[in-house]
Amino acid sequence: MPETAMAEAPVKAATGGNILQVRNLEAWYGESHILHGINFDVNAGEVVTLLGRNGAGKTTTLKSIMGIISKRAGSIQFNNQEIIRATSDKIARMGIAFCPEERGIFSSLDVKENLLLPPVVRAGGLPLEQIFDLFPNLKERLSSQGTKLSGGEQQMLAIARILRTGASFLMLDEPTEGLAPVIIQQIGHTIARLKKEGFTILLVEQNFRFASTVADRYYVVEHGKIIDGFSNAELAANMDKLHTYLGV
Amino acid sequence: MQALYAQLLVGLINGSFYALLSLGLAVIFGMLNIINFAHGALYMMGAFAAYFLLNVGGISYWWALLLAPIIVGIFGMILERTMLKFLTGLDHLYGLLLTFGIALIVQGVFQNYFGSSGLPYAIPDQLKGGMNLGFMFLPIYRGWVVVFSLVVCLGTWFLIEKTRLGAYLRAATENPTLVRAFGINVPRMITLTYGLGVGLAALAGVLSAPINQVRPLMGADLIIVVFAVVVIGGMGSIMGSIITGFALGVIEGLTKYFYPEASNTVVFVLMVLVLLVKPTGLTGRAA
Ligand SMILES: Nc1ncnc2c1ncn2[C@@H]1O[C@H](COP(=O)(O)OP(=O)(O)OP(=O)(O)O)[C@@H](O)[C@H]1O
Ligand SMILES: [Mg+2]
């Protein structure tokens, strides 16, 4: 798909109203220009996945939406409000929550403190019982030091802590990276269940076999641009292209 | 024996000041990554604030314990907002030079107006006199300083290690970007943290006013020893800086009794030894 067409006619949405609209998003780390005009949309209740090779700019896209990258241009509308110039604490308070690739569990906090750290920004977050229902492992480790958890448990904690806050738009950056198949499956179930609860999820994944179990739509990121997009139903038809894009 | 107890008491008092000051330094370093060389000058400002509150405003020592830390804390927060803030991400050296410069300016201004001699500050009536403990005579004010400092230190420890606010603080020390992305106004928290550290220094200044008089350079002399305490204890730990502060005061006091010639240098000798064995300090993390 030609890039110019992307801006005017993003891939057709599967459900609900438009919740996130990214237009001509550019971002820089210092002097290096990383995103060169990203365009995509996320609709309420969808799971949208960004695919792309290492270094394509997926994490940078999430961080730009979250306001973590200070040098950015273009337009990001969340619930019809422009947030391109907002600081990350303001953006979080508008209802966007971020689970970083490196998980970001705090070593000077125990599991309970890690879990309760993100402040509640609005009503409607999951109650603790429901979170422990999703992640029973965490309940038994509440007083452990955060970074003493296993990799999988840390990933669960990183997801769990953003479910309490009332944010309804979640950005998960490679939640399955480096995890065993059983745990990947558990995270897949969790995402499916969150979707059922009404969360909107923007997922970054390298593993599109995993992504295909949860995603409604895909965008492919390459060299800081969205080069393609399709729905889950079109996945099979796009397999060959996808292999080329991802080099797998 | 009497003399030993007397030196122990002096040691505990000095230890109280070391603990309050190094605790403030540790809190500031954790959050702002700045080695706050202005700490001694801010301690001095605390004593002067108490002096002016009493002599100009007629406001008692008890109110000064509360008001002086707030006044000087606000001054500190203004420093943070107008200057220190811009050093985020730079080498420690910049913060050190800036705060050192601030200390020189503040001390210079006070010296210009008040000279170098001490202004008296009377012990409040309720804490005058002493108690005979049998084995020694305890001036009540000195006992009060030790107990009150200990309470304030432990209170600060509790605030940072055991409360929700403290969890924000610890988390922001580790990863301010992520904490901000959770919706917490980290820049404001940094300003308040600097205010807290400065307030602790000012509180130490108020406590010291009746003991050491109020002098423009009272902090300049003390801060050198406090930095040695911080190096020994390590910058990273709250409890570490409290314990090291009191312990070194006591060690200093004991040295004064057993080998007075070394009493002024013992802290620095210990500092060298610790640096040789464990460069990050006894409880510290790498700076
Ligand atoms: N902090 C940084 N400073 C400078 N350049 C960076 C920084 N972080 C990422 N980059 C560069 O930006 C580009 C995009 O990185 P990004 O992390 O967004 O990729 P990604 O698609 O998430 O890759 P991966 O799948 O490996 O996580 C890469 O070329 C990377 O080297
Ligand atoms: Mg990434």
Q: Give me the interface pTM, i.e. the ipTM.
A: 0.90
Alpha-carbon distance A138 to nearest alpha carbon in chain B (angstroms): 19
Domain ranges of chain B: 15-216
Question: Which residues, in sequence order, are CB contacts of A110 under 8 Å at separation 6+?
Answer: A142, A143, A144, A145, A146
Alpha-carbon distance A37 to nearest alpha carbon in chain B (angstroms): 23
Query: Residue A119: its chain B contacts at CB < 8 A?
Result: 182-184
Give the confidence band of B264 by pLDDT, cuts at 50, 70, 90: confident
Q: Which of B167, B174, B186 sits opposite A89 (nearest CB)?
A: B186
Q: What is the largest distance, in Å, between two alpha-carbon atoms of chain A?
A: 53
Alpha-carbon distance values, B131 to A10, A126, B119, B179, B189 (Å): 83, 59, 27, 51, 43
pLDDT tens digits, residue range A162-173? 999 999 999 999
Q: Return the closest-CA partner of residue A114 out of A150, A151, A159.
A: A159
CB A245 within 8 A of CB A21: no
Kindly tell me if the per-residue pLDDT of B135 is higher than 60.
yes
CB B42 within 8 A of CB B203: no
Q: Mark the residues whose beta carbon lies below 5 A from ion ligand 2.
A: A 59, 101
Give the confidence band of B133 by pLDDT, cuts at 50, 70, 90: confident
> B33 or A8: which carries more pLDDT confidence?
B33
Q: What is the DSSP string of B137-199?
A: EEEHHHHHHHHHHHHHHHHHHHHHHHSHHHHHHHHHHH-HHHHHHTT--HHHHHHHHHHHHHH
Q: Return the closest-CA partner of residue B55 out of B124, B127, B121.
A: B121
- The pLDDT of residue A2 is 40
pLDDT digit of tens for each residue in chain A (248 aa)?
A: 344 434 333 344 445 689 999 999 999 999 999 999 999 999 999 999 999 999 999 999 999 999 999 899 999 999 999 999 999 999 999 999 999 999 999 999 999 999 999 999 998 899 999 999 999 999 999 999 999 999 999 999 999 999 999 999 999 999 999 889 998 999 999 999 999 999 999 999 988 889 999 999 999 999 999 999 999 999 889 888 888 888 87
- The pLDDT of residue A16 is 64
Q: Which of B175, B183, B185 sits opposite A106 (nearest CB)?
A: B175
Kindly tell me if the per-residue pLDDT of B181 is higher than 60.
yes
Kindly tell me if the per-residue pLDDT of B262 is higher than 70.
yes
DSSP at A169: E
Q: What is d(CA B122, CA B51) in angstroms, rounded to the nearest whole number?
A: 9
Pairing of strands A81-82, A18-29: unpaired
pTM: 0.89
Q: What is d(CA B209, CA B211) in angstroms, rounded to the nearest whole number?
A: 5
Report, as an integer, the average pLDDT of B38-56: 97
pLDDT tens digits, residue range B211-247? 999 999 999 989 999 999 988 988 778 899 999 999 9
